[in-house]
Structure 1
Amino acid sequence: MSDAYDFSERIGRVEPSATLAISNLAAEKEAEGADIVDLSVGEPDFDTPANVVEAGKDALDAGHTGYTSSNGIPQLKEAIAAKLRDDGLDADADEVIVTPGGKQALYETFQTLIDDGDEVVLLDPAWVSYEAMAKLAGADLSRVDLAPHGFQLEPALDALAETVSDDTKLLVVNSPSNPTGAVFSETALEGVRDLAVEHDIAVISDEIYEQITYDAEHVSLASLDGMADRTITINGFSKAYSMTGWRLGYLHATDEFVGQAGKLHSHSVSCAVNFVQRAGVEALENTDESVTEMRDAFRDRRDLLVDLFDEHGVDVDVGDGAFYMMIPVDEDDQAWCEAAIEEASVACVPGSAFNAPGHARISYAASEGRLREAVDRLVSNDLL
């Protein structure tokens, strides 16, 4: 075998996605004929709304298949800015970059802000890609553990205050949270604001699940006094509109930030897909009923799982958003998840992937029947 490839030190900083590794294992077993209840993937099990699909088809028929302006078509940027204004932000279309997926918006943000040795603070449990993107940018990571506080930020504000300092370059906030489903209170976000202003910290506010909330109100961090000029708001279409494969996201920040991040955007992905952007306009403007229907279904599934776990003596911290739940498992959560898929044919993600050992993340983006089946299998195999 050739040794021609001398891989970069940068790529050696990161591991493959644990979520996708479990999902790939589940797919392999399904290909072998196994009936896997896959609760590992963060993907709604609903079709993209029909009107959005039709808008994409119409855009293709109209010949919208070429490049667009790098930061996005004007119609979509205007629609995004209007949505953000509804969320309380003072947003203008020129402050938006449309990206091929929310991950690209996050990647561009880390690369635009972080130099080698800069401190990035994560709130654990944290989505696995935050760590990977921070490491790719050369960051030094500091972490605040929310697990002892029911995965909520408000009771952990003292711990956050002890962690951040004038040396902190960036703080990442994700509400509603992947992997916990926690929705951070306005009081918690005001605490973030106070610390960010005191120490002059930039903040990523990842709000990709903001339309999937149940018994708590989502607050957009950049809407708080003092945060407009230091917040990069990340959002997208994958979750609320069940458009994961369409790959459409965006970021909103100051003109200055957009000018710098736009350079990376133009030299890497050029632009988001033309006809997909036009479908995105339809999603923002005409899908309220579809979003409500999906959100109500997720709420019912969450409540079902809470009841099922309670029946078997499993105490879970109940989140008010997204479609995830962290369940307590054995200390070796990796071994537990491997046993779950090998013995019970149920796919979950080890909590250690999110820096939350002793837990497993389950996604309830599955039918109520499959959720019942998953719990029954785990119980019958003495895994709960």
Structure 2
Amino acid sequence: MAPMSAPVGGTRPLLNRRLASFGTTIFAEMSALAARTGSINLGQGFPDTDGPAEIAEAASRAVLTGLGNQYPPGPGIPELRSAIAEHQQRFYGLPYDPDTEVLVTAGATEAIAASLLALLEPGDEVIALEPYYDSYAACIAMAGATRVPVTLRPHAGAFALDLDELRAAVTPRTRLLLLNTPHNPTGTVLTPAELTAIAELAVDRDLLVVTDEVYEHLVFEGAHLPLASLPGMRERTVTISSSGKTFSFTGWKVGWVTAPPELVSAVRSAKQFLTYVSSGPFQYAIAEALRLPDDYYEGFRADLAAKRGILADGLAAAGFEVFRPRGTYFITTDITPLGEKDGLAFCRALPERCGVVAIPNQVFYDDRAAGATQVRWAFCKKTEVLEEAAARLRRL
């Protein structure tokens, strides 16, 4: 057999230079580490139990009766688009036309990608709250735009947004604000006063806004306030959410966009060349899920609040500085009290030290030093798993 020749393409790297700095996600690395070592995985944010049985049965029924087994409509099935519109009206008083102002996507991740690819061009600047979910940076890069971070900084046991820093970050090249509240990984929930200031800035500078609100039903103190509900914002805001976090079926990948018709049309133009369509039978099931009674949403939030307490107390007992989250199902800690300085090295060694896996926050920062000592933990796990993890962490 002839020896293999060098890869085609000459000396130029095969991977698009815009993506060269991203590599394998930290979630894949840490989940593989958990599997290899048999550790408790508090890294990647997926539950270890499924969601409501009646919703799983609805998905099964859809498959067996031929609903969604072939390509669903590009914007999503009418039943789900109507349920999404009803959800926005029911919880927030936001009216959306299911035919022109709702778009179903392959999870929120695709909704983010399609929104940024549709709305950005090379030379545009995007302001994003740092630390940020890793796909934000990759999608901004794929669009050829420039990422401008505004950092949430630790203050009085939480992470705070400096509104003056946000205002100063806006330039004539700023096209879009990318917001995430409730915020992953810090658990910050932007206050009504902060959201009002952001809305005023967006209106004054005529900016588009993309909001990632996938943890909308996991706010433990106060309530979630969609930015689109504020004056002047509905017409300039692409609101993104998904079913995975709310109903504990993260593998189904059913997300959505709500926005005015012209914004939905733009996002759909990009989305149709990504997945085209997805999750056919699951769309029917999520249409039923969104109409679950208030008792479901209240019980879901109460269950996660109790689990937050178990893990937060366990982390504090182990010696971490704990930033108790107001939302999401993640807790950020600082490892400095343990005599540690490098969160990435700490997380890579943690499985061998005590059989637990977490995520280093520094990978969510442009300024790695700003998050060097922060580590994120997921508490969307069974109570007994969290209690066992807390016991293991005390070995530190």
Q: Secondary structure at the match of 2:246?
A: coil
Give the Cα–Cα distance (whole angstroms) in 1 for the partners of residues 124 and 93 of structure 2: 31
Q: Is the 8 A contact 2:104 2:256 kept in 1?
A: yes
Aligned to 1:303: 309
Give the Cα–Cα distance (whole angstroms) in 1 for the partners of residues 320 and 36 of structure 2: 30
Question: Aligned to 1:81, which of 85, 109, 116?
Answer: 85
Question: Aligned to 2:62, which of 59, 62, 86?
Answer: 59
Closer, same or farther in 2 for the Cα pair 1:63/1:291, shift >3 Å?
same
Q: Which runs of 5+ in 2 are unaligned?
A: 366-370
Q: Which runs of 5+ in 1 are unaligned?
A: 31-35
1:114-148 CA distances to partner (integer Å, 9 max, x unpaired)? 11221111111211111111112112111111123
Give the Cα–Cα distance (whole angstroms) in 2 for the partners of residues 213 and 185 of structure 1: 11
Offset of residue 8 of structure 1: 2.7
Offset of residue 287 of structure 1: 5.5
Determine whether 1:133 maps to 2:139: yes
RMSD: 1.8
TM-score of the two chains, using structure 1 as the length reference: 0.92
Aligned ranges 1:214-293 → 2 under 5 Å: 214-286=220-292, 288-293=294-299
Q: Secondary structure at the match of 1:285?
A: coil
Aligned to 1:367: 382
Q: Residue type of the partner of 1:345?
A: G
Offset of residue 151 of structure 1: 4.8
Determine whether 1:16 maps to 2:24: yes
Q: Secondary structure at the match of 1:148?
A: strand
TM-score of the two chains, using structure 2 as the length reference: 0.90
Give the Cα–Cα distance (whole angstroms) in 2 for the partners of residues 272 and 196 of structure 1: 33
Give the Cα–Cα distance (whole angstroms) in 2 for the partners of residues 109 and 27 of structure 1: 34
Q: Is the 8 A contact 1:334 1:350 kept in 2?
A: yes
Give the Cα–Cα distance (whole angstroms) in 1 for the partners of residues 271 and 246 of structure 2: 24
Question: Aligned to 1:110, which of 103, 109, 116?
Answer: 116
Aligned to 1:379: 394
Offset of residue 292 of structure 1: 2.9
Q: Secondary structure at the match of 2:273?
A: helix
Percent of residue pairs identical: 33
Give the Cα–Cα distance (whole angstroms) in 2 for the partners of residues 73 and 84 of structure 1: 17
Q: Secondary structure at the match of 2:234?
A: coil
Query: Which segment drifts farther, 6-15 or 298-307?
Result: 6-15
Offset of residue 39 of structure 1: 0.3
Closer, same or farther in 2 for the Cα pair 1:201/1:12, shift >3 Å?
same
Aligned to 1:191: 197
Give the Cα–Cα distance (whole angstroms) in 2 for the partners of residues 291 and 46 of structure 1: 16
Q: Residue type of the partner of 2:237?
A: T
Give the Cα–Cα distance (whole angstroms) in 2 for the partners of residues 311 and 269 of structure 1: 45
Closer, same or farther in 2 for the Cα pair 1:314/1:274, shift >3 Å?
closer
Q: Secondary structure at the match of 2:154?
A: helix
Q: Size of the alignment, in residue pairs?
A: 375
Give the Cα–Cα distance (whole angstroms) in 1 for the partners of residues 274 and 134 of structure 2: 22
Q: Secondary structure at the match of 1:122?
A: strand
Give the Cα–Cα distance (whole angstroms) in 1 for the partners of residues 21 and 115 of structure 2: 18
Q: Is the 8 A contact 2:37 2:352 kept in 1?
A: no
1:346-367 CA distances to partner (integer Å, 9 max, x unpaired)? 1000110122221000001223
Aligned to 2:368: none
Q: Secondary structure at the match of 2:311?
A: helix
Determine whether 1:46 maps to 2:52: no
